[in-house]
Homo-oligomer: A and B are copies of this chain.
Amino acid sequence: MGDPNLTYDKQAISVDCVVFGFDGKALRVLLTRRRRSLPSGEEVVDPKLPGSLISDNEDLLSAADRVVRDFVGVRSIYLKQMEVFSDPQRVQGNELSWINTHYGVELSRVLTVVFFALVKLDEKLLTHTKRRGGEWVELNDVRRLALDHNKILVSAIDHLMHLFHQEPIAFEFLPKKFTMRQLQNLYETVLDIEIDNRNFRKKMLALDYIVEVGEKENSVAHKPAQFYFFDKKKYDREYKKIFKLSSVYK
């Protein structure tokens, strides 16, 4: 072999993280900003997904964790690899100059491994994000992002919708104690559908890994609801292994 097209000295790998959160009404994604000067001398600020080149001795998950933790303060519970974007032309021209300036290297190409993270938004986390220059933007309000980050975001949203049908990830978004209403609102928002309240409740309560806490809401302008929590251990024991054989395959 010994392919003449291989030089390997200018490729680098980055991680970019799509971090989703739910504010009770809408899905939000974590964005940061990139400041750069155009050749014209003009300064532009492009919103982008948080990311970083990886260090020589770092695996991808650690790198992604480093990036996310920088903005949210805590280790995110749900953080997984999604997809690699590898178009040789995905970063070039001004984009590439920015990276070379910013990191002090001379690259001709950057592949990025996209990570997918879910976090529970709370006051502490929001404060931390703000301090670090991050922003939680409603999905509907996301405009043009740097590089190919719009494409990445679209892919991540699709991924999120699919995952919602396959794993109990909804609970990653909600506080430890949540009401059926909160859970339902989340499903309706993420999947963009309306759900019958009575059937939803019946279905969810039939799952023995959703457990009643024994506390109620208070000071709400309607009948106060029970709080529930997600018993992950129970779920892992009973469901993960079997991995739900659908009818035919029985």
Contacts and interface: CB of A to CB of B under 8 A. Distances in A.
Interface in A102-122: 102-105, 107-109, 111, 113
**Copy count, this protein chain:** 2
Contacts of A102: 1-2
A242 to B, nearest CB: 11
A229 interface: no
Interface stretch (A8-16, A21-29, A38-46, A217-225): A8-16
A114 to B, nearest CB: 10
A199 B250 CA distance: 9
Nearest to A165: B246
A195 B13 contact: no
Interface size range on A against B: 35 or more
Interface stretch (A51-59, A131-139, A145-153): A51-59
A195 B8 contact: no
Given A8-B105, A59-B86, A195-B250, 6 more contacts: A2-B103, A6-B105, A9-B9, A81-B83, A165-B245, A193-B249
Contacts of A245: 165, 191, 193
Contacts of A6: 53, 55-56, 103, 105
A203 interface: yes
A187 interface: yes
A166 B163 CA distance: 11
Contact of A203 (B193, B244, B248): B248
Q: Which of A8, A60, A108, A196 has the most CB of B within 10 A?
A: A8
Contacts of A113: 84, 86
A87 interface: yes
Contacts of A87: 59
A62 to B, nearest CB: 9
